[in-house]
Amino acid sequence: MEQVLEPSVSSQHSRPPRSASTNNPNPCAPPTFLSAASAKNIFMDRIVIEGGVPLRGEVQVSGSKNASLPQMAACLLAPGRSSLRNVPRLRDTETMAEVLRELGADVAADDDVMNIDGANFSVIEAPYDMVRKMRASIYVMGPMLARLGRAKVSLPGGCAIGARPIDLHLRGFEALGAEIELEAGYVIADGSNMQGAEFSLEGEFGSSVGATCNVLMAAVLIRGRTIIHGAAIEPEVGEVARMLNLMGANIKGIDSPTLEIEGVETLRPISYATVPDRIEAGTFLVAAAITGGDVLVRGARAEHMNAVLQKIIQTGAEVEMHSEGIRARGRLPIHKTTIHTLPYPGFPTDMQAQFMALLCLAEGESAITEGIYPERFIHAAELRRMGAEIHVGRGGDSRVKGVEKLLGAPLMASDLRASAALVLAALAAEGESVISRVYHIDRGYERIEEKLAALGAKIVREKAPTRAAKA
């Protein structure tokens, strides 16, 4: 397979301006609640799709969500203004911006550029009202301990995929010498005696991207040498490490499971471009395959997507690597295959739901084993509503027996990647599908309905009335 040349991260398509909420002078203002007497219809977005249209054309992949979030937190490590380019406009990046402002940072967004000044970063508490919205808010803990010596961070919220504990984060901080207590839903940490150490971050289901990035951010500013074994080697971790080195950190072993960090006294602000999102790119390639379409995903990097590309090819699609991105052509019949999610460079758990949607239309029976989050099959129930034949067993195993067609149906999204799976299934289904709770998909996909519409999909976002909750 020919390797793709490194594409430019700049988009060739115009972007609409960011919403006014980005520049809200009081982004942390409390919400307004309606009393029972004044309860009335309020509106929530839903996506309506008329399926059966092969997607054709080109689409520009956005910057990586999973790299942008820890990189935004890393800007707290240096006093002065850092500029992150190619940052996707997502609910999660907006939430992280709000969290950073709460901690004293000055955050300003201009199109896909996020300017973050950590000079006034001084607040050691990340409160529940902020952190509950997104698990990645825990990324501020590493910079807090490194620069401020203390941290009080609420236990995080986010996607409803099992417990997803932060024990590996805390194990790493404790190995560095932090004293940690759990109190009333908060993690309280004293890092005044932190110093370099040697330890492992490998957990029951392998390495952790979040824990590796978080502990790495703490280690770069503490005295002594730190050696992390069992570090995650996902491309997003490497991007965070390279950005930290550009800021003045001393990290060796990048892209390997053993990281060696020599602590430095200070870091400097920088300008850095976020890597393209490999999960969004994979989702659009599956969209081409499931609709029998022909799509060029501009900016997609084949070197970050080998496991996904191999599986797309196994299902019968044609895949070509170009200097500007990756092209996929769907071919019938869709072939069955086996999926086993594993830490990178294995098949990513964040693509499992999308492939389940694709395999619903394959000939024969496919097997999916979820090796990262064994309970990550919530989307199976909604796919069954469309006529899919899926059996979810115990221990992360499921079987998908291909059917001749899927039928449009009312659907409800349960988490970020499940939302993407439902959109893909709806694109290939016969008839109309209405997907509710699409705020989940807005956490990780930038303007997905606009990008799909540009490829020919019959898709619209609309407001759906819902009854306001009683006070």
Catalytic residues: 159
DSSP track, 328-349: EE--SSEEP-EEEE-STTSB-G
**CB 276 within 8 Å of CB 61:** yes
- Number of C-beta neighbours around residue 113 at 10 A: 14
Residue 112: CB partners within 8 Å, gap ≥ 6?
Answer: 11, 15, 62, 63, 85, 86, 87, 88, 89
- Quick one: tokens of 366? 């496919």
Displacement of CA 39 from its chain's centroid (Å)? 35
- Quick one: tokens of 172? 């790493």
Handedness of CA 167, 170, 176, 181 (dihedral sign): negative
Question: CA–CA separation, 219 vs 175, rounded Å?
Answer: 11
**CB 186 within 8 Å of CB 155:** yes
| Omega before residue 333 within 30° of 0, cis | yes
Residue 52: CB partners within 8 Å, gap ≥ 6?
Answer: 428, 429, 430
200: left (phi over 0), alpha (psi -120 to 50) or beta: beta
Q: Tell me the CA distances in angstroms from 336 to 111, 144, 306, 352, one per residue in order.
A: 41, 48, 19, 14
- Quick one: tokens of 289? 């395959």
Strand order in the sheet with 225-229: 198-200, 225-229, 259-262, 250-252
Which strand (E) or helix (H) includes residue 362? strand 362-363
